[in-house]
Structure 1
Amino acid sequence: MHLLIAWCGFVGAWLLFAGPIYQAATELEEEGFERDAFSAQIDTVEVPERPSPWWWLLPPVGYVLQRRRQTEYRRRIMAVMTQDQLERMVAFANTATGWLFVAGGAFFIALKETWELAEVYELSVLLFVLAVVVMFALCALHTIVRLRGTHQMLARSGTARNRDSMTDEPPATSDA
Protein backbone atom coordinates (compact mmCIF):
# COMPACT_ATOMS: atom_id res chain seq x y z
CA MET A 1 0.00 0.00 0.00
CA HIS A 2 2.90 2.35 0.80
CA LEU A 3 4.19 1.92 -2.77
CA LEU A 4 0.78 2.72 -4.28
CA ILE A 5 0.48 5.89 -2.21
CA ALA A 6 4.01 6.98 -3.21
CA TRP A 7 3.13 6.52 -6.88
CA CYS A 8 -0.18 8.38 -6.44
CA GLY A 9 1.65 11.30 -4.83
CA PHE A 10 4.24 11.34 -7.61
CA VAL A 11 1.70 11.28 -10.44
CA GLY A 12 -0.64 13.71 -8.70
CA ALA A 13 2.11 16.22 -8.01
CA TRP A 14 3.31 16.22 -11.60
CA LEU A 15 -0.28 16.60 -12.85
CA LEU A 16 -0.61 19.48 -10.44
CA PHE A 17 2.43 21.03 -12.12
CA ALA A 18 1.37 20.25 -15.71
CA GLY A 19 -2.08 21.79 -15.22
CA PRO A 20 -0.96 25.33 -14.39
CA ILE A 21 1.68 25.24 -17.11
CA TYR A 22 -0.95 24.38 -19.71
CA GLN A 23 -3.53 26.77 -18.29
CA ALA A 24 -1.00 29.60 -18.17
CA ALA A 25 -0.04 29.03 -21.79
CA THR A 26 -3.65 29.07 -22.97
CA GLU A 27 -4.67 32.07 -20.86
CA LEU A 28 -1.62 34.10 -21.80
CA GLU A 29 -2.28 33.35 -25.44
CA GLU A 30 -5.88 34.46 -25.00
CA GLU A 31 -4.71 37.73 -23.47
CA GLY A 32 -3.87 38.62 -27.05
CA PHE A 33 -0.90 40.72 -26.10
CA GLU A 34 0.27 42.02 -29.47
CA ARG A 35 3.92 41.07 -29.42
CA ASP A 36 4.56 42.30 -32.96
CA ALA A 37 3.17 45.79 -32.34
CA PHE A 38 4.89 45.89 -28.97
CA SER A 39 8.21 44.78 -30.48
CA ALA A 40 7.94 47.44 -33.18
CA GLN A 41 7.50 50.12 -30.53
CA ILE A 42 10.33 48.79 -28.39
CA ASP A 43 12.64 48.96 -31.41
CA THR A 44 12.04 52.73 -31.57
CA VAL A 45 13.20 53.22 -27.97
CA GLU A 46 16.83 54.08 -27.39
CA VAL A 47 18.52 51.61 -25.07
CA PRO A 48 20.36 53.32 -22.20
CA GLU A 49 24.11 52.91 -22.20
CA ARG A 50 25.45 49.95 -20.23
CA PRO A 51 27.52 50.72 -17.18
CA SER A 52 31.11 49.66 -17.35
CA PRO A 53 31.65 45.99 -16.45
CA TRP A 54 34.36 47.20 -14.07
CA TRP A 55 31.61 48.29 -11.67
CA TRP A 56 30.93 44.61 -10.99
CA LEU A 57 34.21 44.50 -9.08
CA LEU A 58 32.08 46.26 -6.46
CA PRO A 59 28.91 44.12 -6.77
CA PRO A 60 26.55 46.41 -4.86
CA VAL A 61 27.51 49.34 -7.08
CA GLY A 62 27.22 47.22 -10.23
CA TYR A 63 23.80 46.01 -9.13
CA VAL A 64 22.52 49.52 -8.39
CA LEU A 65 23.78 50.85 -11.72
CA GLN A 66 22.21 47.94 -13.62
CA ARG A 67 18.88 48.45 -11.81
CA ARG A 68 18.92 52.15 -12.68
CA ARG A 69 19.56 51.30 -16.32
CA GLN A 70 16.67 48.81 -16.38
CA THR A 71 14.33 51.30 -14.69
CA GLU A 72 15.25 54.01 -17.19
CA TYR A 73 14.70 51.66 -20.14
CA ARG A 74 11.33 50.55 -18.74
CA ARG A 75 10.32 54.22 -18.29
CA ARG A 76 11.25 54.99 -21.90
CA ILE A 77 9.25 52.02 -23.18
CA MET A 78 6.20 53.00 -21.16
CA ALA A 79 6.43 56.56 -22.51
CA VAL A 80 5.89 55.38 -26.12
CA MET A 81 3.02 53.00 -25.31
CA THR A 82 -0.66 53.94 -25.45
CA GLN A 83 -2.86 53.66 -22.36
CA ASP A 84 -4.59 50.59 -23.84
CA GLN A 85 -1.25 48.89 -24.50
CA LEU A 86 -0.08 49.65 -20.96
CA GLU A 87 -3.26 48.17 -19.50
CA ARG A 88 -2.93 45.02 -21.62
CA MET A 89 0.74 44.68 -20.73
CA VAL A 90 -0.04 44.98 -17.00
CA ALA A 91 -2.87 42.43 -17.31
CA PHE A 92 -0.53 40.08 -19.19
CA ALA A 93 2.21 40.50 -16.58
CA ASN A 94 -0.23 39.95 -13.70
CA THR A 95 -1.62 36.79 -15.28
CA ALA A 96 1.88 35.47 -15.98
CA THR A 97 3.02 36.23 -12.42
CA GLY A 98 0.02 34.48 -10.89
CA TRP A 99 0.53 31.33 -12.93
CA LEU A 100 4.25 31.45 -12.18
CA PHE A 101 3.51 31.25 -8.46
CA VAL A 102 1.01 28.41 -8.91
CA ALA A 103 3.31 26.39 -11.18
CA GLY A 104 6.31 27.12 -8.94
CA GLY A 105 4.51 25.81 -5.87
CA ALA A 106 3.34 22.74 -7.76
CA PHE A 107 6.89 22.14 -9.00
CA PHE A 108 8.22 22.11 -5.43
CA ILE A 109 5.51 19.65 -4.42
CA ALA A 110 6.45 17.50 -7.44
CA LEU A 111 10.11 17.60 -6.35
CA LYS A 112 9.14 16.42 -2.88
CA GLU A 113 6.95 13.62 -4.17
CA THR A 114 9.60 12.53 -6.68
CA TRP A 115 12.18 12.43 -3.87
CA GLU A 116 9.87 10.35 -1.72
CA LEU A 117 9.31 7.89 -4.57
CA ALA A 118 13.07 7.72 -5.13
CA GLU A 119 13.54 6.95 -1.43
CA VAL A 120 10.96 4.15 -1.56
CA TYR A 121 12.97 2.49 -4.34
CA GLU A 122 16.30 3.56 -2.80
CA LEU A 123 17.36 5.25 -6.04
CA SER A 124 20.46 7.39 -6.42
CA VAL A 125 20.37 11.17 -6.56
CA LEU A 126 21.31 10.93 -10.24
CA LEU A 127 18.15 8.93 -10.99
CA PHE A 128 16.10 11.41 -8.96
CA VAL A 129 17.48 14.29 -11.04
CA LEU A 130 16.86 12.30 -14.23
CA ALA A 131 13.26 11.66 -13.19
CA VAL A 132 12.72 15.37 -12.48
CA VAL A 133 14.18 16.39 -15.84
CA VAL A 134 12.11 13.79 -17.72
CA MET A 135 8.88 14.72 -15.95
CA PHE A 136 9.50 18.44 -16.45
CA ALA A 137 10.14 17.82 -20.16
CA LEU A 138 6.97 15.73 -20.43
CA CYS A 139 4.90 18.49 -18.85
CA ALA A 140 6.37 21.10 -21.20
CA LEU A 141 5.98 18.80 -24.20
CA HIS A 142 2.34 18.17 -23.31
CA THR A 143 1.65 21.91 -23.34
CA ILE A 144 3.46 22.43 -26.63
CA VAL A 145 1.71 19.53 -28.36
CA ARG A 146 -1.72 20.58 -27.09
CA LEU A 147 -1.27 24.20 -28.15
CA ARG A 148 0.00 23.22 -31.60
CA GLY A 149 -2.94 20.85 -32.01
CA THR A 150 -5.33 23.62 -31.02
CA HIS A 151 -3.72 26.03 -33.48
CA GLN A 152 -3.89 23.49 -36.29
CA MET A 153 -7.49 22.65 -35.52
CA LEU A 154 -8.46 26.33 -35.46
CA ALA A 155 -6.56 26.96 -38.68
CA ARG A 156 -8.35 24.08 -40.41
CA SER A 157 -11.67 25.23 -39.01
CA GLY A 158 -11.06 28.78 -40.21
CA THR A 159 -9.98 27.54 -43.63
CA ALA A 160 -13.07 25.37 -43.90
CA ARG A 161 -15.31 28.26 -42.83
CA ASN A 162 -13.67 30.58 -45.36
CA ARG A 163 -13.97 27.97 -48.10
CA ASP A 164 -17.64 27.34 -47.25
CA SER A 165 -18.46 31.03 -47.19
CA MET A 166 -16.84 31.50 -50.61
CA THR A 167 -18.72 28.61 -52.23
CA ASP A 168 -22.09 29.20 -50.62
CA GLU A 169 -24.55 30.57 -53.08
CA PRO A 170 -26.93 33.21 -51.86
CA PRO A 171 -30.24 31.73 -50.80
CA ALA A 172 -32.80 31.61 -53.55
CA THR A 173 -35.81 33.79 -53.01
CA SER A 174 -39.17 32.82 -54.30
CA ASP A 175 -41.64 35.41 -55.48
CA ALA A 176 -44.61 33.13 -54.90
Structure 2
Amino acid sequence: MERPVTLHVDGTARKLSVDTRTTLLDALREQLAVTASKKGCDHGQCGACTVLLDGRRVLACLVLAVTCDRSEVTTADGLGGSGSPHPVQRALLEHDGLQCGYCTPGQACSAVGMLDEAKAGWPSAVTEDPRQNVELTEDEIRERMSGNLCRCGAYPNIVAALREAIR
Protein backbone atom coordinates (compact mmCIF):
# COMPACT_ATOMS: atom_id res chain seq x y z
CA MET A 1 0.00 0.00 0.00
CA GLU A 2 1.43 3.37 -1.05
CA ARG A 3 1.15 6.53 1.03
CA PRO A 4 2.06 10.14 0.20
CA VAL A 5 4.84 11.52 2.39
CA THR A 6 6.57 14.88 2.58
CA LEU A 7 10.10 14.81 3.93
CA HIS A 8 12.07 17.99 4.59
CA VAL A 9 15.49 16.69 3.58
CA ASP A 10 18.45 18.95 4.26
CA GLY A 11 16.15 21.97 4.24
CA THR A 12 14.16 21.10 1.11
CA ALA A 13 10.61 19.75 1.13
CA ARG A 14 10.41 16.59 -0.96
CA LYS A 15 7.10 14.89 -1.78
CA LEU A 16 7.02 11.20 -2.60
CA SER A 17 4.82 8.16 -2.43
CA VAL A 18 6.15 5.22 -0.44
CA ASP A 19 5.15 1.68 0.24
CA THR A 20 4.32 1.52 3.95
CA ARG A 21 7.17 -0.98 4.39
CA THR A 22 9.82 1.34 2.91
CA THR A 23 12.55 2.45 5.29
CA LEU A 24 13.65 6.04 5.52
CA LEU A 25 17.05 4.97 4.20
CA ASP A 26 15.57 3.36 1.10
CA ALA A 27 13.27 6.32 0.48
CA LEU A 28 16.22 8.71 0.71
CA ARG A 29 18.56 6.69 -1.49
CA GLU A 30 16.25 5.05 -4.00
CA GLN A 31 13.44 7.56 -4.44
CA LEU A 32 15.08 10.88 -3.65
CA ALA A 33 18.67 10.09 -4.80
CA VAL A 34 20.04 11.40 -1.49
CA THR A 35 23.03 9.12 -1.05
CA ALA A 36 24.89 10.70 1.88
CA SER A 37 23.53 8.04 4.23
CA LYS A 38 25.02 4.66 3.45
CA LYS A 39 23.46 1.22 3.59
CA GLY A 40 25.85 -0.91 5.59
CA CYS A 41 24.26 -3.79 7.44
CA ASP A 42 20.57 -2.86 6.89
CA HIS A 43 19.91 -4.22 10.41
CA GLY A 44 20.70 -1.21 12.64
CA GLN A 45 24.05 -2.59 13.76
CA CYS A 46 26.66 -0.46 11.98
CA GLY A 47 25.44 3.16 12.08
CA ALA A 48 26.41 3.98 8.48
CA CYS A 49 22.83 5.15 7.84
CA THR A 50 22.64 7.55 10.80
CA VAL A 51 20.70 10.76 10.09
CA LEU A 52 19.13 13.42 12.28
CA LEU A 53 15.36 13.14 12.38
CA ASP A 54 13.86 16.31 13.85
CA GLY A 55 17.26 16.89 15.45
CA ARG A 56 17.65 13.44 17.02
CA ARG A 57 19.99 10.81 15.65
CA VAL A 58 18.32 7.72 14.24
CA LEU A 59 19.29 4.70 12.18
CA ALA A 60 17.49 5.34 8.90
CA CYS A 61 17.44 1.63 8.04
CA LEU A 62 15.17 0.98 11.05
CA VAL A 63 12.71 3.86 10.62
CA LEU A 64 9.73 3.54 8.29
CA ALA A 65 9.44 6.47 5.90
CA VAL A 66 5.68 6.84 6.49
CA THR A 67 6.37 7.65 10.15
CA CYS A 68 8.52 10.61 9.06
CA ASP A 69 5.84 12.52 7.20
CA ARG A 70 6.46 16.27 7.62
CA SER A 71 9.66 15.60 9.58
CA GLU A 72 13.01 17.33 9.16
CA VAL A 73 15.67 14.88 7.97
CA THR A 74 19.28 16.03 8.07
CA THR A 75 21.93 13.97 6.35
CA ALA A 76 25.67 14.68 6.37
CA ASP A 77 25.11 16.78 3.24
CA GLY A 78 22.84 19.10 5.21
CA LEU A 79 25.07 19.60 8.25
CA GLY A 80 27.14 22.47 6.95
CA GLY A 81 26.12 25.61 5.18
CA SER A 82 26.68 26.30 1.52
CA GLY A 83 30.34 25.49 0.90
CA SER A 84 31.08 25.55 4.63
CA PRO A 85 31.41 22.22 6.43
CA HIS A 86 30.02 21.76 9.93
CA PRO A 87 32.73 21.98 12.66
CA VAL A 88 32.42 18.20 13.17
CA GLN A 89 33.00 17.56 9.47
CA ARG A 90 35.93 19.98 9.42
CA ALA A 91 37.49 18.29 12.47
CA LEU A 92 37.08 14.82 10.93
CA LEU A 93 38.96 16.03 7.85
CA GLU A 94 41.68 17.82 9.82
CA HIS A 95 42.32 14.83 12.10
CA ASP A 96 42.12 12.26 9.31
CA GLY A 97 39.11 10.72 11.05
CA LEU A 98 38.31 8.63 8.03
CA GLN A 99 39.99 6.17 5.74
CA CYS A 100 37.67 4.68 3.16
CA GLY A 101 34.98 7.23 4.10
CA TYR A 102 32.03 4.85 3.93
CA CYS A 103 31.03 5.33 7.58
CA THR A 104 31.92 9.03 7.70
CA PRO A 105 28.47 10.52 6.91
CA GLY A 106 26.90 8.41 9.66
CA GLN A 107 29.74 9.23 12.04
CA ALA A 108 29.29 12.96 11.38
CA CYS A 109 25.51 12.90 11.92
CA SER A 110 25.89 10.77 15.02
CA ALA A 111 28.53 13.13 16.42
CA VAL A 112 26.30 16.17 15.91
CA GLY A 113 23.46 14.33 17.65
CA MET A 114 25.81 13.26 20.45
CA LEU A 115 26.89 16.86 21.06
CA ASP A 116 23.26 17.97 21.32
CA GLU A 117 22.43 15.11 23.70
CA ALA A 118 25.38 15.95 25.96
CA LYS A 119 24.51 19.65 25.89
CA ALA A 120 20.98 18.72 27.00
CA GLY A 121 22.51 16.79 29.92
CA TRP A 122 21.57 13.29 28.81
CA PRO A 123 23.81 10.78 30.62
CA SER A 124 25.36 7.74 28.97
CA ALA A 125 26.30 4.36 30.43
CA VAL A 126 29.69 5.75 31.50
CA THR A 127 28.54 9.09 32.90
CA GLU A 128 29.95 9.20 36.43
CA ASP A 129 27.30 11.44 37.97
CA PRO A 130 24.14 11.85 35.90
CA ARG A 131 23.12 14.81 38.11
CA GLN A 132 26.12 16.84 36.92
CA ASN A 133 26.78 18.46 33.56
CA VAL A 134 28.08 15.89 31.11
CA GLU A 135 31.77 16.29 30.35
CA LEU A 136 32.60 14.72 27.00
CA THR A 137 35.73 12.80 27.97
CA GLU A 138 37.26 10.25 25.61
CA ASP A 139 35.33 7.50 27.43
CA GLU A 140 32.06 9.44 27.01
CA ILE A 141 32.74 9.99 23.31
CA ARG A 142 33.60 6.33 22.73
CA GLU A 143 30.47 5.17 24.55
CA ARG A 144 28.18 7.63 22.82
CA MET A 145 29.62 6.83 19.38
CA SER A 146 29.72 3.05 19.94
CA GLY A 147 26.78 2.49 17.59
CA ASN A 148 28.82 3.75 14.64
CA LEU A 149 31.32 1.20 13.39
CA CYS A 150 34.37 1.91 11.26
CA ARG A 151 35.71 -1.09 9.38
CA CYS A 152 39.00 0.72 8.77
CA GLY A 153 39.59 1.31 12.49
CA ALA A 154 39.95 5.10 12.39
CA TYR A 155 38.60 5.34 15.94
CA PRO A 156 41.58 7.16 17.55
CA ASN A 157 41.38 9.89 14.90
CA ILE A 158 37.59 10.08 15.12
CA VAL A 159 37.78 10.58 18.90
CA ALA A 160 40.52 13.21 18.49
CA ALA A 161 38.41 15.01 15.89
CA LEU A 162 35.37 15.04 18.13
CA ARG A 163 37.40 16.29 21.09
CA GLU A 164 38.45 19.24 18.89
CA ALA A 165 34.91 19.83 17.63
CA ILE A 166 33.69 20.00 21.24
CA ARG A 167 36.11 22.86 21.89
TM > 0.5 fold call:
no
Greater relative CO (CA pairs within 8 A, separation 6+) = 1
Give TM-score, length-normalised by structure 1: 0.24
Give TM-score, length-normalised by structure 2: 0.25
User: Higher Cα Rg: structure 1 or 2?
Assistant: 1
Bigger fraction of residues in helix? 1
